[in-house]
Amino acid sequence: MKQLHTKVWITFLILVGFVSLTKAQDTLKLTFQEAVSMALAKNLEYRILENNQEILKKETLTAWSNHLPSANINSSFLRQTGQQFQQIEGEIVVTKESNEILSPGLSVSMPVFNAGRRILDTQSSILAQKAGEKGLERARQQVVFDVSRRYMQVLLDQELLKIAHENVLNQKQTLIQIEGFVEAGLRTISDLYNQQAEVARLESILLDAELTLENDRWLLVEYLQMEVNTIPVLENVSPEELMGELSDQDMDQLVQLALSKRPDLQQQSLLTSSFKKDVQAIKAMLLPRVNAFYNYGTFYTSLDNRSVSTQLFEIYPQNTIGLSLGIPIFNGFQSRLDVARGKMAYQNQVLRKEALDRKVYQDVRLAYQNYQVALKKVSNASIRLVAAKEAQQAVSERFRLGLSDFLDLSVANQTLVSAQSDQAQANFTLYFQAVLMNFALGNL
């Protein structure tokens, strides 16, 4: 008896400590959409993908700009000391002095023919950028899914804690009744001791529920990267919105929906096309290339007494325009190595897409089966809860009249609590399976 009271007091003090800790922390009301927005703003992997997407945009812009001529301005300044060669009146005169030379120039070049490599590179960059957008969309869905899982777990923990708390209160009321029965001589002292032990056991369960809630709540806080000492107060969600879209479709229809909507599957298809364009562009390097070019050059020398502007713009300017032909013959098999690497990269991408095709089918099939099972469990849990309530009321009345013993009452109470917990678990599991199904469909 003394040990029992000690355990009760320890449990009470720990619960008081939890309450004091919660009061010392700030609370923040949080909806599901706000939690998703917070996660998207701070999730490391998602932000990295956003940064990578900016690089893909720049690469596409560069590929487009490669269709335009390339121009460069060059200039050099040098000082020569020693022998200088000058042509004066048909003779070459050698003098020994210092000569300062300035030689600016302009060069412009543009590919005329390169077997379509510029076009292929541009198409590959556009496909890669679109693939990045699909990957970013799937990453966004992954964040929503992760938030949903943690958010729903906290809501479930709160519901289970509520059930445990109500159960403790109900059993304490029963304890008071049994104390009265014992004083009146209607019940034995053993029933009183058994009920006291039951209350202590339920208080321990309440404490476990409190700890589970705290742990899962902090997991959510950590994922959302919220401020230290901030406790989120979550608003309930409405599962009907997600469930309604799934109720009228069979698995084959859902598979076809997933194949048409999964962003990661679309991403792999776009990457496959992009890698194929890359291989074609690399093969173009094995063919002859024709480039058009224009060069403008001039210079100034201190050995000429005429002015700088006269030398640069009137005396020494040169204009060159023409075509250049390049025919690859041998470069140590580097081009063939690049082609082989490109082909292997393309074939590996094809394998990734085929594997993802199979995975999409498996994901949808498993999610569909789990969702159907969750529907049945909700129905069974509701039936069980109604029966458990009726049984508990009947046994409680018989116990009050002295027609049932304490064991029957304890079993009925435990069955009722178990039924309440199972119903809460079933309801939240059904909603989570709906979330999982929409994630498998790419529709989250």
Give 113's strand partners: 290
What pLDDT is attached to residue 138? 93
- Are 24 and 156 contained in the same domain? yes
The number of helix segments (H) and strand segments (E) in the chain equals 11, 7
pLDDT, tens only, 311-340: 888 888 999 999 999 888 887 788 888 889
* Shared-domain flag, residues 76 and 132: no
268 and 381 part of one domain? yes
Residue 195 near residue 174 (C-beta atoms within 8 A): yes
One domain, residues 183 and 231: yes
What pLDDT is stored for residue 93 in this prediction? 59
Q: How far apart, in whole angstroms, are the C-alpha atoms of residue 104 and residue 107?
A: 10
Nearest CA to 384 out of 396, 392, 374 is that of 392
What is the SS3 assignment for 174? helix
Q: Are residues 91 and 240 in the same domain?
A: no
Amino acid letter, 23: K
- Give the predicted TM-score (pTM) of the model: 0.76
Q: What is the CATH number of the domain that holds 200?
A: 1.20.1600.10
3-state DSSP assignment of residue 30: strand
Number of domains in the chain: 2
Query: What pLDDT score was predicted for residue 308?
Result: 87
Consecutive H or E run containing 272: helix 263-284
Judge if 322 and 432 occupy the same domain.
no
**Same domain (yes/no): 320, 358:** no
205 Cβ contact partners less than 8 Å away, ≥ 6 residues apart: 164, 167
The residue type found at 96 is: K
How large is the angle between the packed helices 32-42 and 44-65, nearest 10 degrees? 60
Q: Which residues constitute the domain of residue 353?
A: 2-68+114-287+328-441
Instruction: For the chain, list residues with pLDDT below 50.
Output: 1-4, 7-8, 10, 13, 16, 18-24, 88-89
Count how many residues are written for the chain.
Answer: 444
Cα 413 to Cα 179: distance, rounded to the nearest angstrom: 18
